[in-house]
Structure 1
Amino acid sequence: MARVTLFRREVLGFPITAAVTRAGDDLLVQVAGGCREHIGSVSTARFENGELKIDSLLLPHHRDDVVGDKFAKALAERSRATVTVVCGIHFDSPGRDGIREIVECTDSLLEDILSSDVISDK
């Protein structure tokens, strides 16, 4: 059975979590939270001929690829593995300041993962 490592932060009164699962040498990450978790994007970062490539699937009317692509790129660069991130974070009308707080929260969550042993734990 695959081991899932959970990371959690809170912003604007709601949790945002990242569940990181090893898939052999690769990583599968689910980032979800806010007032309504969902699937808004799927981002995969992989190396092709030594160059990092990112493929994204974005559902209509969603912007979750901003977070998903950032997580996939950073985690793939650190682990040198293929990383797929499923992302769905929703807040009702957070405003500019709220969006800034959400971005800061997800950046902190990513830093938590990057500084953990889950990346190097092959």
Structure 2
Amino acid sequence: MQEQIFLKTALFGYKICANVIRLDEGIQVNIAGGSRTHIGSVSFMRYNENIKTIQLPGHKDAQISTHWAKVLWNHFKEPVCVQCGVHFDNLNRSQIEDVIVSCSRMLDTLVKRLI
């Protein structure tokens, strides 16, 4: 039985959304938002393996996708695939941290809903 969860937040006038599907065996996540949605990274974790992440050149999305995959794996011990593409133009370090914190809050909400 599949369960679908949709989470969203707003930052700097744009939405960041997470579409999550709880599969019979695994959790599939797509995080996208900002001023230009895209595919920037994919992180995958499964039984008895270390995390595997592919990040496209010039992107920084792996920080989010890797974090989500590790947290979800640690809580649920089932295969996890997280795709992330969040873009904002010309952010400073503080604003980048705001994006990371906002995404982490969505992740906290997700974990509570999946338990």
Please tell me the TM-score bracket, short chain as reference. over 0.9
Deviation of the 1:2 alpha carbon: 4.0
- Percent identity, aligned pairs only, is 31
Partner SS state of residue 107, structure 1:
helix
3-state DSSP of counterpart to 1:115 = helix
Instruction: Write the letter of the residue equivalent to 1:71.
Output: W
Aligned residue number for residue 43 of structure 2 = 43
Q: Which residue of 2 aligns with 1:28?
A: 28
Offset at 1:103?
1.2
Q: Does 1:82 align with 2:79?
A: yes
TM normalised by structure 1 equals 0.88
SS in structure 2 of the partner of residue 53 of structure 1? coil
Q: Which residue of 2 aligns with 1:60?
A: 57
Cross-structure match for 1:108: 105
Q: What is the RMSD of the two structures over their aligned residues, measured on CA atoms?
A: 1.4
Residue 96 of structure 1 corresponds to 93
Contact residue 35 and residue 88 of structure 2 kept, 8 A = yes
Q: Secondary structure at the match of 1:47?
A: coil
Aligned residues between the structures: 115
Deviations 1:51-72 (A, max 9, x none): x510011111111110000000
Task: State the shift of 1:3 in Å.
Answer: 3.6
Gaps of 5+ in 1: none
2:4 pairs with 1:4: yes
Letter in 1 for 2:41: S
- CA offsets per residue over residues 47-102 of structure 1, 9 Å max, x none? 21xxx510011111111110000000001111110100010000001112211211
**CA distance in 2: counterparts of 1:102 and 1:62, whole angstroms:** 14
Structure 2, unaligned runs of 5 or more: none
* Offset from partner CA, 1:98-117 (integer Å, 9 cap, x none): 1121111011111111111x
Displacement of 1:4 in angstroms is: 2.0
